[in-house]
Amino acid sequence: MISSHKSQTTFTQEILTESIQHWTRASVSLLDIRHETLPAGHSAIEYCSPAGLFAFSYGGSADVSLGGQRYGIERFGLFHTSKGNSLSISPGESDIGLYKILYRAEAPTFRNKSFKNGSVGAPFRESYGFEPSDPLFFAEHLQHMRARWISGEPLDLLYGKTALHQLVYRVYEELERGDIRRLEPDPVSMAKHYLDTHYREPVSLRTVADSVHVSASSLSRLFRKQEGVSPQEYLIRKRISAAKELLQSTNATLREIASHCGFSDEFHLIKTFKGALRMTPGDYRKLRSTEMRDLSMSVPGSVPYARWNDLHSHTEGDYAMFAAPKGKMMLAVLGLTLLLSACSPSTTSTTGAAGSSGTASSENSLSSATAASTAPAETTREFQHTGGTTEVPTAPKRIVTDWFYGELLTLGIRPIAYPEYLLSEYPYVESEGTEGLGESMEQVIGLEPDLIISVWDESYQQFAKIAPSVLFKSDMPLAERMKTLGDLVGRQKEAQDWQVAFEAKVEEAKTNLQQKMAPDTSVTILSIFQKEVKVHGKRNTGAEVVYKTLGVPAPKAVEELFADTEDWNKTVSLEALPDLAGTDIILTTYDPEGTGQQRLKELKESEVWKDLDAVKNGRVHEVDYYDLFYEDPIAVENQIEMITNMLTE
């Protein structure tokens, strides 16, 4: 069941009973019934209700703001709020219909002793929303109410008042029955609102996640699933859209536009804009200016789109507002057409650099493409990997990776970008110097990497179009992984030095365990994954370190459970725990949606759990999920130290 939020009324049976009594005894007047159709993509204006309000939406998904909180609905939504509260509904990909029923209610003039102090009038002040279990009733009922109401006939107005009570009855019938889906604040909708409001400011994924009270990794996953893009890409699109508007409608310089739209400087604006639209802001301004001038010539009395700007027209190049006589403008458009064709994707050169090597347009004198074309060629070599053979630089300096962050740090190289959802949770090293990577290929283009290392087949195929790219699989043993990466980035000595030091660290930990750990020790790794209890086998979540690196055994039942499978973990019942539990239990909780803590509480309160020897003997070691998630050298070394301390304490 979805947990309630403080902004919505939590309907206990006691509150429902009192609310129904208030509605029964109150004097209720129907003020108006309104209906409108909101087109897809429509951004509704905040509607401040002048009275009590029931609202019913139907026909498609939408983002809803009710009383200051934002929600997401799939097909139907029924809402209630009081006078002075705001409501706005923004449809998704299809049109939606919206009924608004305005009413005034006067609470009972008496105070029944059974009512709590301060509860008089409470149901008329409640704000809540849910997806009704019988939405067709509400759709048909409100259609009849609306049709009778607009006739204005006395009998029809009386029908409206009677029908309002029937509407209230069905609302409370569903609330009391409890088989509805309560609408909870939607973190993605709230994050979009935050980005729409704060895009001019420096914004990080962690800041947005904190504002909507979820973890950065959860927000990134939910945002990508719901919107099809990452929060970072959404922010970039918002900033570019704002910049496009200013380029069309003002004479502002690029420096002014960059500052106003959240870009760090005009160079950042140019790079991001070109990566997204394959043209510079100056080119875009010229093109739009031409289109608007042509329109103004064909429409009598229209206002010219852009006026000549003496201050910037011939002194700041790409930073200036461009306006010119008609003939010159047409030449600029022709030049822009040629420029766009030159910007089309090209095959990787023999030096491994992406992009064209031709002479850049004078209008693009600050673009990265020009810088790349004039830079000296870098020594390269062929490198074989899972995805094939790639010509890579012998000493890469700007590496983007979607997985091997700790490995590269250990080799003495800080990647310029790494996925934000992983970077934000990495517990061992500060992220300064590494940019959080979203789903946007434009972001990768803008970073101008000289090497991309990927773990995902699909991503590798896209990356290979941007820069020299290699594909590795994460299931490669750590020592082999480090040797291969060392060979790739020209850090063979660093990889060898790490291997020697790592083996010494492992031997020291094993010796410590042999001397201090109880001889009958066995370890079970359990995790709470949302609402499930899982036991782990020989891979992931610290299992490699415990069972393979340190050689600490698992209970026999765990060994048998994973004997003929490559599964990382298996969901188990509470009843199975006595057989699976070792003398020591390592327990972690993955809780991106707020359900794990409740399951953990249930586990700890169960008699089965309390009766386990590890629990009785104080040998349950609770560990943060991300302390066991990563499997790079930095993470593994920390896990070795942490687990050794646990088992010898």
Which range of 152-156, 256-260, 392-396, 595-599 scores highest in mean pLDDT? It is 392-396
Predicted pLDDT of residue 16 = 83
Could you tell me which CATH number the domain at 378-490 has? 3.40.50.1980
Distance between CA 595 and CA 530 in Å, rounded?
Answer: 5
pLDDT at 147 over 70: yes
| 83: nearest Cα among 103, 111, 68, 58 | 103
Give how far Cα 601 sits from Cα of 1, 233, 643, Å. Answer: 16, 37, 24
Query: And the tokens for 539?
Result: 């891979």
When mean pLDDT is compared across 44-53, 465-474, 640-649, the lowest value belongs to: 44-53
Q: Give the residue with greater pLDDT, 259 vs 474.
A: 259
Q: Which residue has the tokens 């005009």?
A: 266
pLDDT in tens, 262-320: 887 777 788 788 777 777 787 788 777 665 555 444 444 333 333 323 323 333 333 33
**Could you give the angle at the alpha carbon of 568 between the alpha carbons of 562 and 571, nearest 5°?**
80
Distance between CA 514 and CA 591 in Å, rounded?
Answer: 35
pLDDT at 454 over 90: yes
Could you tell me which CATH number the domain at 508-648 has? 3.40.50.1980
Q: Give the domain ranges of the chain.
A: 13-185, 229-342, 378-490, 508-648
Asked if 542 and 628 touch (Cβ cutoff 8 Å), the reply is yes
pLDDT in tens, 170-189: 988 888 876 655 556 677 87
Q: Give the residue with greater pLDDT, 115 vs 91.
A: 91
Show Cβ contacts of residue 310 under 8 Å, excluding neighbours closer than 6 positions: none
| 605: nearest Cα among 581, 580, 574 | 574
pLDDT in tens, 306-338: 332 332 333 333 333 323 333 333 333 334 333
Query: And the tokens for 398?
Result: 């700007």
Distance between CA 513 and CA 499 in Å, rounded?
Answer: 21
When mean pLDDT is compared across 173-182, 254-263, 611-620, the lowest value belongs to: 173-182
Residues in the chain: 649
Give how far Cα 397 sits from Cα of 273, 356, 394, 416, Å. Answer: 24, 21, 10, 9
Asked if 394 and 488 touch (Cβ cutoff 8 Å), the reply is no
Distance between CA 400 and CA 414 in Å, rounded?
Answer: 9
Q: Beta-carbon neighbour count of residue 382 at 10 Å?
A: 9
Predicted pLDDT of residue 248 = 87
Predicted pLDDT of residue 89 = 84
| % of the chain at pLDDT higher than 70 | 79
Distance between CA 542 and CA 552 in Å, rounded?
Answer: 12
Give how far Cα 264 sits from Cα of 203, 256, 257, 366, 400, Å. Answer: 11, 11, 11, 16, 21
Domains 229-342 and 378-490 share a fold: no
Please report how the helices 478-489 and 633-648 are oriented relative to each other, as an axis angle in degrees rounded to 10.
Answer: 150
| 237: nearest Cα among 285, 245, 424, 319 | 245
Distance between CA 13 and CA 25 in Å, rounded?
Answer: 19
Q: Give the residue with greater pLDDT, 523 vs 220.
A: 523
Question: Right CATH number for 229-342 from 1.10.3720.10, 3.10.110.10, 3.10.690.10, 1.10.10.60?
Answer: 1.10.10.60
Domain boundaries 13-185, CATH class: mainly beta
pLDDT in tens, 524-553: 999 988 678 899 988 888 889 999 999 999
Distance between CA 204 and CA 210 in Å, rounded?
Answer: 10
How many Cα neighbours within 13 Å face the side chain of 398?
A: 12
Asked if 423 and 405 touch (Cβ cutoff 8 Å), the reply is yes
Show Cβ contacts of residue 234 under 8 Å, excluding neighbours closer than 6 positions: 192, 195, 223, 227
pLDDT in tens, 496-515: 999 999 999 999 999 999 99
Q: What is the DSSP letter of 432?
A: T
Mean pLDDT of 444-448: 86
Asked if 418 and 429 touch (Cβ cutoff 8 Å), the reply is no
Torsion of CA 155, 161, 166, 168, to 10 degrees: 170
The torsion region of residue 329 among left (phi > 0), alpha (psi -120 to 50) and beta comes to alpha
Show Cβ contacts of residue 397 under 8 Å, excluding neighbours closer than 6 positions: 450
